[in-house]
Amino acid sequence: MLKGTIIKNISNSYTVLANDKTYNCTPRGKFRNMKLTPLVGDEVLIDEDNNYIMELLERKNEISRPSVSNVDVMLIVTSMKNPSFSSLLLDKEITLAYVSKIIPIICFTKIDLLTDKELIDYKSIRKYYEAIGIKCFANNEIEDLVEYLINKKVVLTGQSGAGKSSLLNRIDSRLDLKTQEISYALNRGKHTTRHIEIFDVRGILFFDTPGFSSLSFQEIKKELVRDAFIEFKTYKCRYQDCMHIKETECGVIEALNAGKIRKTRYENYLKIVGECENGGIRINSKK
Ligand SMILES: Nc1nc2c(ncn2[C@@H]2O[C@H](COP(=O)(O)OP(=O)(O)O)[C@@H](O)[C@H]2O)c(=O)[nH]1
Ligand SMILES: [Mg+2]
Ligand SMILES: [Zn+2]
């Protein structure tokens, strides 16, 4: 038996990378009875003589649509202009990453298009996220970014036109990906079958699929969203389960009023919580 990682899946065929070799395997073993479907990103044990996946190891995380597992980093490509910067979109992506137990990092793009005044805003936005512990890069800091991402499994996310394909090209110019396209793909349309694959780009393991297909919070509990606003945890509230909305003696609201929490960030928090499964305001007028 060998331990390996599933790096590709087409219907019931899985490519497993183990000790620098690839094996085309089919699932066997007890997990099949448990209705567990192997995902790209899964750590598995294989019977290398018969090309069987025998065992699925525990996942550290998993996202659906696209279905992948064991994502180390969500690389959020965030344009500062064309398309214009949206703090709400960024905070939604960060929140979904944390809710999915994935570390978000930000790569800002199109800094070169900013006026001096806009540059000041950019610096202050970046400084805030860095201060709360989120790694930030700009797309001209490629070597620092590569150094951080090396040997990690990465999902790229960010709105269309943000500069995802361009970023991959900057990381490795041999990729020569088409830019200005609606969707990016490392394996440009050679295959008609929809499949997911992991590509090694200078030692970074990129899932060839964009991040969250939907930014919906409808099925997410508001407490999880609260916990995803990681800086809120540094403030003490009177109530342990404080949602930092209307409670008295709330350290987060005090920090907000003291200018320690960005106003837009807090407003985004309220908007996102409002979209949650149990986050809306309930009106019990109907009988
Ligand atoms: N000025 C400028 N243009 C950029 C930058 N990054 C990407 N672009 C351009 O923005 C457009 C969209 O980029 P693309 O990589 O296709 O975005 P994607 O949809 O996220 O893959 C293309 O015309 C790129 O050349 C940047 O940092 N500065
Ligand atoms: Mg693209
Ligand atoms: Zn509070």
CATH number assigned to the domain with residue range 2-58, chosen from the 4 options 2.40.50.140, 3.30.460.20, 3.30.70.260, 1.10.3720.10: 2.40.50.140
- Name which residue sits closest to atom 6 of ligand 1, judged by CA: 163
pTM: 0.92
- How far apart (Å, rounded) are the C-alpha atoms in residues 9 and 194? 9
Q: Which of 107, 177, 179 to mutate to test the pocket of ligand 1 (most atoms within 8 A of CB)?
A: 179
Question: What whole-number percentage of the chain has pLDDT above 70?
Answer: 92
Identify the helix (H) or strand (E) that includes residue 154. strand 153-157
What is the chain's Cα-based Rg?
21
Q: What confidence score (pLDDT) does residue 179 get?
A: 85
Query: In the predicted model, what is the mean pLDDT of residues 268-273?
Result: 97
- Name which residue sits closest to atom 7 of ligand 1, judged by CA: 163
- How far apart (Å, rounded) are the C-alpha atoms in residues 282 and 155? 36
Instruction: Give the residue from 111, 112, 105, 107 showing the smallest Cα distance to 80.
Output: 111
Q: Is 162 in the pocket of ligand 1 (CB under 6 A)?
A: yes
Q: What confidence score (pLDDT) does residue 65 get?
A: 78
Q: What confidence score (pLDDT) does residue 230 get?
A: 98
Q: Is the pLDDT of residue 193 over 60?
A: no
37 φ, ψ (degrees, to nearest 5): -95, 125
Domain at 222-274: CATH architecture = Orthogonal Bundle (1.10)
- CATH 3.40.50.300 location in the chain: 68-207
Q: Which residues surround ligand 3, an ion (CB under 5 A)?
A: 237, 242, 244, 250, 252
Query: In the predicted model, what is the mean pLDDT of residues 244-265?
Result: 97
Question: What whole-number percentage of the chain has pLDDT above 90?
Answer: 79
Mean pLDDT of the residues in the chain: 91
Strand partners, 198: 207
Superfamily, domain 68-207: P-loop containing nucleotide triphosphate hydrolases (3.40.50.300)
Rounded alpha-carbon distances, angstroms, from residue 35 to 21, 27, 39, 146: 28, 11, 12, 37
